[in-house]
Amino acid sequence: MKTRLLVAAAMPAALVRAVNNGLARTPQMGWNNWNTFACDVSEKLLLETSKLLVDYGLKDLGYQYVVLDDCWSVGRGEDGYLIPDTTKFPHGMDGVADELHKQGFLFGMYSSAGEMTCARYTGSLDYETQDAESFASWGVDYLKYDNCYHMGRMGTPLISFNRYNEMAKALKKTGRSILYSLCSWGEDYVHTWGGSIANSWRISGDIYDSFSRPDDLCACNDPANPACVAPGTHCSVLAIINKVAPYIDRGLPGAWNDLDMLEVGLGGMTEEEYKAHFAMWAALKSPLLLGNDLRVMDATTLSIVNNPAIIAISQDPKGRAAMRISRNLTVPKDEFGVGETQVWSGSLTNGDQVVIFFNAADEDLDMSASLAELFVMHGPGGSADEVKQDWTVRDLWGSEGARMSKADAQAVLDAKSDAERSSVLKRANWYNATEKPYAKGLEDGDERLFGERVGTVKAGGRLEARVARHAAKVFRLQSAGGKAGASKGSSLRDEL
């Protein structure tokens, strides 16, 4: 096993803050074991999963981080350094990192800014220097840093900032480039200071596999409310979206609002709910970390998480999240009294605009928005120049050039060899971001990133669509005179 030698190259003096460390210029993508496996972790699980990320074409879509969550240590030695569990990880953490690096992945690990981790293993509070040295010497590329058992060191933004900054400083001191991901659950207004020291920060309590069900364990919806005693652990997709809406603009290249890991494929939501969940996380520029068991993944799940037109929204080089421009609570409610619709809109590279009609009501609904509303961030009251243009509308879940067919997805899963899988992906003309980064594909107008053309909105007009219950329609609007994503043979209706 390697000794704790530090990376020799020092970081340039100009890289003062983590937000400027050159990492996460677009939201990080990868896989984390926690949502499915919790403490049932091992070297075998990580390496089996990394192989499947390659086999299924997910690595080449950008899922590059393999992140080990909690439960990996057996405590500290007399020297104060953490000791990995060699039963679970017989080749040590550096051995895991070496294997992942050989496959072209980046290796992520977990600790907590507390005396214990959330699963009550040894935490890093007051041992930041030793633990950062260990992570660097093991070849770690990503640290998820949690918030459990913090010994009361919270309650104001400055107290929490100082606690998390200790690890930020320790990581920088090692000289190794390590993406720093805070998991402080949105406490102490982390969105106001997280970008000063980290590449992402959690904005809520833990997600669970529900689209909109309210749960008392996710009570912290209003941080100014004195009755809000805990951020919680059972936060629905809808609860998290509503939590981040007022400050979604705080995310910028290198520093992102983290809406927590993806639940796609875990079984608690419908296909439409999972599609909406995935698309919203992409448009709101949350990190995209898969949480399902790839060894038993079905075709529906694969065809959701490998949609390059949706991923291109996440990885758009402009790095601006969509913003909520309207919210309607006067819609049919479900058995829990929950129901609403929302419209989100945001600027993309090449002058494009992403628009999402998000239907959390209890029935299918017709939804619409005027160009004046969709471009309100460019100028209120219809004053934006964009309102005076015609816009081509492309459906990012459309059948042509966007979502992989379930038959092709099943063929990828069933393939018996690397050559057979490669043949399926080649036949499907699937996108490979390793060969052509998203920024280049968008610049070239690669149709695989632009969905299916479905119509035009005339200057001063409205975008309209029927949206299924608990679903989202995701559109990419392009100036009708633009060249990006120009379609060949796509279906076209004169108006939506």
Which residues are catalytic, by number?
146, 206
- What six digits make up the tokens of 195? 């970008």
**Cβ pair 178, 135 in contact under 8 A:** yes
CA distance 147 to 160: 10
Decide the pairing of beta strands 471-479 and 391-395: antiparallel
Query: Where would I find the beta strands (DSSP E) of 275-400?
Result: 288-290, 323-328, 341-347, 353-359, 365-370, 391-395
Q: For residues 496 and 493, what is the distance between their CA atoms, to the nearest angstrom? A: 7
DSSP element (H, E) containing 316: none
Which DSSP category does 19 fall into? Answer: G
- 262, 305 in Cβ contact below 8 A? yes
The 8-class DSSP code of residue 61 comes to G
Residue 445 to residues 266, 314, 346, 450, 478, Cα–Cα distance (Å): 34, 17, 19, 8, 11
For residues 88 and 451, what is the distance between their CA atoms, to the nearest angstrom?
43
Angle formed by the axes of helices 271-283 and 237-244, nearest 10°:
20
Encoded tokens for 281: 């996380």
Residue with tokens 């998290």: 240
- The vertex-206 CA angle with 202 and 209, nearest 5°, equals 130
Q: How far apart are CA 430 and CA 404, in angstroms?
A: 8
Measure the CA dihedral 3/75/132/117, to 10°: 150
> How many distinct helices (H) and strands (E) make up the chain?
13, 18
The rounded Cα 278 to chain-centroid distance in angstroms is 8
What distance in Å separates the CA atoms of residue 407 and residue 298, rounded to the nearest whole number?
11
SS3 419: helix
